[in-house]
């Protein structure tokens, strides 16, 4: 739910790129949930949260791609950080998600637009989106982890 909310209500539409482009903060709760609760929760938070946004916000053609791409992003972040609690693993996991997003949406745009050139214009927006989420998450994740452990929450989904 938080992924949907942060995608739907904390965003900036870009007047560039073939699809208009959208920079949002939906990746922040996605990464936090994946780091805190693992790959299953990460995949659900990403795929369902952002896929639902696409379905309900006029980006319907993107929904299947988003469900797969962002679901994989959440799964990978969760998988990489489940057994490795060190900060460096969190950085590496978010970087892996960055690569998945850039490559995944580039391929999705090739499929949707039928050429290899138009998708290039979307890359900068995707870079900014993940970079902003990475900075926010890497600043807040440690205090959030401490709070979650104190409260005793061990599972979300």
- pLDDT (tens digit per residue) in 48-58: 988 998 898 88
The answer to whether the CB of 22 falls within 8 A of the CB of 53 is no
Q: Walk me through the domains of the chain, giving residue ranges and CATH numbers.
A: 2-151 (1.10.1760.20)
Chain segment 116-136, per-residue pLDDT in tens: 998 898 888 889 889 989 999
Which two structure tokens, joined as six digits, stand for 157?
């989904």
Rg (CA), the chain: 15
The SS3 assignment for 16 reads coil
The SS3 assignment for 5 reads helix
Chain segment 58-79, per-residue pLDDT in tens: 889 999 999 999 999 999 999 9
Return the percentage of the chain with pLDDT > 90, whole number: 59
Q: Higher model confidence: residue 2 or residue 56?
A: 56
The SS3 assignment for 92 reads helix
pLDDT at 61: 92
Instruction: Choose among 24, 30, 128: nearest CA to 77.
Output: 30
C-alpha distance from residue 57 to each of 4, 20, 62, 129 (Å): 11, 13, 10, 18
pLDDT at 25: 80
pLDDT at 5: 57
115 burial via Cβ count (<10 Å: 0-12, 13-18, 19+): exposed
> Is it the case that residue 1 has pLDDT exceeding 90?
no
The SS3 assignment for 11 reads strand
Which two structure tokens, joined as six digits, stand for 70?
């962002």
pLDDT at 118: 86
pLDDT at 63: 94
Mean pLDDT, range 86-104, rounded to an integer: 97
């Amino acid at each position: 739910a938080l992924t949907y909310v942060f995608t739907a209500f904390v965003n900036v539409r870009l007047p560039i790129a073939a699809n208009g482009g959208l920079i949002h903060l939906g990746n922040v709760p996605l990464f936090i949930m994946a780091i805190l609760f693992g790959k299953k929760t990460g995949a659900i938070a990403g795929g369902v949260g952002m896929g639902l946004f696409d379905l309900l916000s006029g980006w319907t053609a993107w929904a299947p791609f988003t469900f797969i791409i962002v679901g994989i992003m959440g799964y990978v972040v969760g998988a990489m950080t489940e057994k490795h609690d060190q900060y460096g693993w969190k950085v590496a996991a978010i970087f892996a998600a960055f690569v998945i997003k850039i490559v995944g949406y580039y391929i999705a745009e090739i499929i949707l637009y039928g050429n290899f050139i138009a998708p290039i214009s979307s890359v900068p927006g995707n870079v900014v989106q993940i970079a902003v989420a990475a900075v926010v998450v890497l600043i807040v994740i440690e205090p959030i982890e401490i709070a979650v452990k104190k409260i005793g929450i061990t599972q979300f989904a």
